[in-house]
Structure 1
Amino acid sequence: MVKIEIENDINNKNSIYYDLKEFRDRNPDTLYSYQDFEVAGRREFKIITNKVRKLQDYEKNRLASELVGHLYNYALDEGKLSSVHDYITLNPIIGYYENLIKIFKDSMESNKEILKAMSKRVNNLLKESSYSEEVKLGILLSPICSIKNLKDILNVFSIHNEYIFYTIKAYEYIGSCNNIIFEISKKSKGYGKIFCIMNLTPTTYEIKKWMIEEGSDNSVGITELLSYTMLSLDLLSYLEDTKFSEGEIEVFAKSFSTLLSDYSLDDIKNSAKVCNKLLEIIDNIGGGIYSLYAVISILYSIEAIIIDEYKNKGNSNSYKLNNDYKEIIDNCKKICKKELWHNVIANEVPNIEIESSVLISCADRTKYKLKKSEFELIIKRDYTNALLYKYAFSIGNKAIKKCAFKLGLKKLPMTEILSGQDELKIENLLYEDIAQICFFIIIKYAQYEDFIDEYKDINFQALKSPLIETRIQAAANLQRFKEEFDSLDKETIKDAISTEIVSDVRRALNSLLIKSSSKKNKKYVEIDENMHIDAHVKDIYLTSVNIAGISYFDMSEIYHKLLEDDMVYLKRDFDNEYDKNAIEVITTEGFVMGYVPKDNNLILKNLIDKGKYLYGKVEEISEDYSAIKIQIYLSYKDVIEEITSTLSLLSGEREDYLQ
């Protein structure tokens, strides 16, 4: 037997099986280290999680039947392996593996002689093939063919993510495999871990505990892992039945904060009770940075729910929802005020294993003032984290602001960031464009007083950004220098205008060259609640007009602020001595831009005087702001108010019923 094994090893140097077996024998209980954990098993993951188009049932049956036909020929003639090879290369079995198992099993049961021959061929696929798709096919069919020493063979393939999915399916066919899958799960990572957990049943407390605490700790597929672990299990009973140490609650808190980064509290069974119990445990025994971050994640999640409910305030349950979570919010804030967290944060700042976002969020919520040296340590290792720049310019002291400004401009890929004007918008950026967001935050929030020497130059450079919002903000920042521009500055602006392809940016750049007039009027009115209007699907378009009287107002007040599609308010001007029907056109900040033209205002004035609500939407703005065209709409707001008033009389309560 030993001689045969040695001969096999010599004769199968290119065999996937013997390569893995040799590694396993040298490194027991260790995953195959030469695989790419970000790639191995990815195709199987995408298909079983429906991230690519699924085959129709008839397609699966057709492909499975055709492959069984090729296998039948291969069983009779070893030379037909090439036809099997070609078929599974074009049609990988992951797309129809369930149908293949059924059809293959049924066809083999009716022909024992073919099964015997097929067993030999499958054994060859398992042990001798150097082609991964052949090996996967062999693993999948091996339990049907009753391959000898199969569990040991499967154990060999379980150390590589490319084969774990098929290994688990083979174990499931054999039966009584949950403990085996659990053992594979504990040492797995990458896509292999996902396959294990998707097929693992929490039959014991040990398995349940591991799934909750470590099941989602992975580099890929976090959302899917959470759905199979923490979302699927009874977290409340786990928290109530477990006696935690500081270290143990830290492990759970890390998983729980990960859960809340991907899902809402509404997705968790008994979410309020789970939160209260977790907060009680953390309040009693403390914990580390992730215990604190779990508390903060709960706050973030509740805030997100409140914001969503506020946006949909027509739902009368919104106030009840806020009351349900009031106790949780109070407990979170109480825990965050504990001074012990300041030491926890300070101790974790040098820890490169802790995400920068965790440290910054914890510092923000606990009012821990990061020292300049601490912030510098964090941003040096994570200079493309936009949250760090937001923290620096909104909360950080002057030293931290300077640190973020200088380090950002030094370390960010400025050649790429200033690659030239384009039509990129923040809402369309990909994750790999995060450096553009970091630079935008610098341009938007850095104040002239803090960076007197660099401010003008960096904003001129920002006019070359491909991000529209960055260019608009840079033009806005340069407004403070417009009276000081020299000929070179003006030439730079003209060059930017000549190549600018976005009208909003071009308009903002043109405003830099328009001379301000101190003689023009700057009129503001107070925007009260009665003037506020939300657009509604039942609003009625009435007409389009060019705003009259623009030349009498200092339009520099709206340079780079007013954009096309922005809403403007319409307000009667009863004190106008030139036009008794006058209607002012006002920005949402209260700046009066002009009037509805006399030729168009009589009917509109009558509507407003009769209690109707009108508003405008900016349709077009000329590049020098000398002409602004708006669309005028009749709002549905008065109808909503009438219905709300009627319902409140019936119920005795006033609510925002409809929108």
Structure 2
Amino acid sequence: MFSLFKKEVLYPWAEGASIYETIRSKIDERGRLQDDKLPDDESYWEGRPLRWVAGGLDGALGHHAGGGKDEEKVTETLRLLAHLSRKPNLKTRRAAYLKLMQADVLSVIDPLLEALRHAPGLNAQNLYNEALWLTEKGAHRNVIKFGIALLGQFETEHHRELILTLGRHDEFTLYSAVAIQNSLNAPNAALFELVQAVNGWGKIQLVERLEPETQEMKDWLLRKGCQNSVMYEYLAYICALKGELHVALTADEVDEALYNGAGDILSALTHGGPAEDMDDYEHAPAVIGNYLRLSRTMCKDVSQLTVILNLLDWLKQDAKPWEKRLSKGWAEETRGQYREMAENIITAEGWAEKVWTALRSGDDRQRYCSIRAAKALGLDIWEELFEQLRLSPMNGSLIFELMRTDNEQRVRKLVSFAEESLPLTDIASGPADEMGLGLGYEAHSALDFLVQELDRYPGVGRKLIATALHSPVVRNRNMALKALEAWPLADWEESLAAAVNRLAEIEPVSDVKETIAEMMKDKKF
């Protein structure tokens, strides 16, 4: 018999390598994943306007949006899985696999699992065997996520290695964490093993679920638990609370790892953001006091100084937030003492030299901290940053800092450099509806940091604005229009007026088109 179909059409899991085997092959001797590329990356993200970091889509939806419930999808998926459990063969496996490939996992996973638990006529052993197969052999991430979730419904150690291996990839850590809690013996120990192997959204999911049963776990939470590649703010409060920071910092002396970890936690708490912050932390007065006490002898480098600066800024906030704080355990006298302690550390001799050393270290974190410290100390580092930009002309963070000046001559110098060094012709490929994030958009991002400040400098950077008007990235065009709106019409010159007229005709985004029309009406041209 001749087959009219390619193998991967009949059996979609043959489209690529097993995700489990791919991940397992990339784990180093420390148990960490060496890179997070997955076999289905290109097919999964094709046609999507934005490619999320591993675990980012599920993480953001889980933290900032409620899960949906699509009853039609749940019913159809339940039917296919039930059929697969009763008659496991290639035909029923293929039907279920194709459905799971296409499913929006977070929108149906909870109601689907609930429905499975009450489904009549389900063969549990067959379903478990198929879940094992899907999780181990699947070549598509949604199938793997469902497979892990299904395994989590069965209390057995048999799949321990499988879900811990997959959990080392941030895309699957959330699902592995839930499965670990639901199905394994000593789940906390397994979560602790896994959390030390991830650093992105997966770490956030695991720290949130970890219950520190031992001192080792508490010590780790305070020293390494908060740091992640997404935002420290997600985990700062949790680590402070679960790790008992208020107890740890009462010691007369602490090790440097604890001091630095506490600094990361406190800095994140001062920033606020997506999770609980300093105002939610009941031990804040005592912890800040002990940290400042320890800082008298332990604050030695610029990154540590940055923590003191963040605390001082928080202590110096205006009266409104402090009205509430003074009613919740703070005293004005304590606040004043802490401000004085922080200021004494900041004004100590020797910081200027350390700032210059850190600024020239070549380390991104050290540079960030040195910029922060230089502002507080009144050091003029603009020319040094400009020289660093010469070596990396599309470094958006450098451009952002350099444009934060009120010195027009410096802005003109930077604009002139950008006009010569950025690939303006490539950027001006024509207006489209692009978000301009990720790889391939570094030049567009650099242009954005320049143009967004040009509204303060009429007549400066016309070439950059003209380029932004022809960029496919929507924000580039919006920032160019923002600048032109602020400029007197006399500073536009004919070329920019012509460019705006042309854009009014071809602009593909309705909101931007309306902005152009309103501006043309206001400017009367």
Q: How far, CA to CA, are the matches of 1:86 and 1:283 in structure 2?
A: 62
Q: How far, CA to CA, are the matches of 1:23 and 1:420 in structure 2?
A: 41
Q: How far, CA to CA, are the matches of 2:412 and 2:331 in structure 1?
A: 42
Do 2:237 and 2:265's aligned partners in 1 also have CA atoms closer than 8 Å? no
How many residues matched?
455
Amino acid at match of 2:53: V
Q: How far, CA to CA, are the matches of 2:309 and 2:151 in structure 1?
A: 50
- Structure 2 partner of 1:15: 18
Alpha-carbon displacement from aligned partner over 1:33-70 (angstroms, at most 9, x marks no partner): 2526953333432332243x5225xx56x755653432
- Structure 2 partner of 1:161: 170
Shift of 1:441: 4.1
1:295 aligns with 2:308: yes
Q: How far, CA to CA, are the matches of 2:452 and 2:136 in structure 1?
A: 56
1:367 aligns with 2:361: no
Q: How far, CA to CA, are the matches of 2:181 and 2:450 in structure 1?
A: 49
Once the two structures are superposed, the pairs formed by residues 482-501 of structure 1 within 5 Å of their partners are: none
- Structure 2 partner of 1:71: 81
Q: How far, CA to CA, are the matches of 1:419 and 1:321 in structure 2?
A: 59
Shift of 1:306: 0.8
CA gap of 1:266–1:63, structure 2 versus 1, over 3 A, is: same
**Residue 484 of structure 2: which of 471, 481, 485 is its match?**
471
Q: How far, CA to CA, are the matches of 1:497 and 1:45 in structure 2?
A: 40
- Higher RCO (CA < 8 A, seq sep 6+): 2
Q: How far, CA to CA, are the matches of 1:275 and 1:92 in structure 2?
A: 44
Shift of 1:444: 3.2
Q: How far, CA to CA, are the matches of 1:70 and 1:34 in structure 2?
A: 31
Alpha-carbon displacement from aligned partner over 1:195-237 (angstroms, at most 9, x marks no partner): 2222212233332333333333222254433454347664332
Q: How far, CA to CA, are the matches of 1:497 and 1:43 in structure 2?
A: 36
Shift of 1:328: 2.9
Do 1:119 and 1:142's aligned partners in 2 also have CA atoms closer than 8 Å? yes
- Structure 1 partner of 2:263: 253
Shift of 1:240: 1.9
Do 1:20 and 1:156's aligned partners in 2 also have CA atoms closer than 8 Å? yes
- Structure 2 partner of 1:569: none
**Residue 186 of structure 1: which of 196, 200, 212 is its match?**
196
Gaps of 5+ in 2: 1-13, 39-50, 432-442, 469-478, 505-515
1:172 aligns with 2:174: no
Q: CA RMSD in A?
A: 4.7
Shift of 1:293: 0.6
SS in 1 for 2:300: coil
1:136 aligns with 2:130: no
Do 2:67 and 2:106's aligned partners in 1 also have CA atoms closer than 8 Å? no
CA gap of 1:346–1:106, structure 2 versus 1, over 3 A, is: same
Q: How far, CA to CA, are the matches of 1:130 and 1:223 in structure 2?
A: 34
- Structure 2 partner of 1:217: 227
Gaps of 5+ in 1: 1-10, 422-430, 446-455, 479-488, 511-622, 624-659
Once the two structures are superposed, the pairs formed by residues 75-474 of structure 1 within 5 Å of their partners are: 75-77=85-87, 78=89, 79-107=91-119, 114-145=123-154, 149-173=158-182, 174-220=184-230, 222-230=232-240, 234-241=244-251, 243-246=253-256, 248-263=258-273, 265-303=278-316, 305-306=317-318, 325-351=335-361, 352-354=363-365, 356-370=367-381, 372-373=383-384, 376-377=387-388, 381=392, 382-385=395-398, 388-389=401-402, 392-393=405-406, 404=414, 406-408=416-418, 410-411=420-421, 435-439=447-451, 441=453, 444=456, 458=460, 467-468=480-481, 470-471=483-484, 474=487
Alpha-carbon displacement from aligned partner over 1:278-332 (angstroms, at most 9, x marks no partner): 22221222232121111111233344x417569xx99998xx9876633333322
Shift of 1:73: 1.4
CA gap of 1:333–1:148, structure 2 versus 1, over 3 A, is: closer
Do 2:211 and 2:242's aligned partners in 1 also have CA atoms closer than 8 Å? no
Amino acid at match of 1:170: A
Shift of 1:443: 6.7
- Determine which structure has the larger strand proportion and give its number: 1
**Residue 39 of structure 1: which of 53, 57, 65 is its match?**
53
Shift of 1:178: 0.9
Shift of 1:345: 1.0
- Determine which structure has the larger helix proportion and give its number: 2
Q: How far, CA to CA, are the matches of 1:327 and 1:298 in structure 2?
A: 13
Q: How far, CA to CA, are the matches of 1:203 and 1:415 in structure 2?
A: 59
Amino acid at match of 1:39: V
Do 2:245 and 2:262's aligned partners in 1 also have CA atoms closer than 8 Å? no
Shift of 1:494: 8.7
Amino acid at match of 2:168: I
SS in 1 for 2:186: coil
Larger Rg: 1
CA gap of 1:413–1:266, structure 2 versus 1, over 3 A, is: farther
Q: How far, CA to CA, are the matches of 1:492 and 1:122 in structure 2?
A: 63
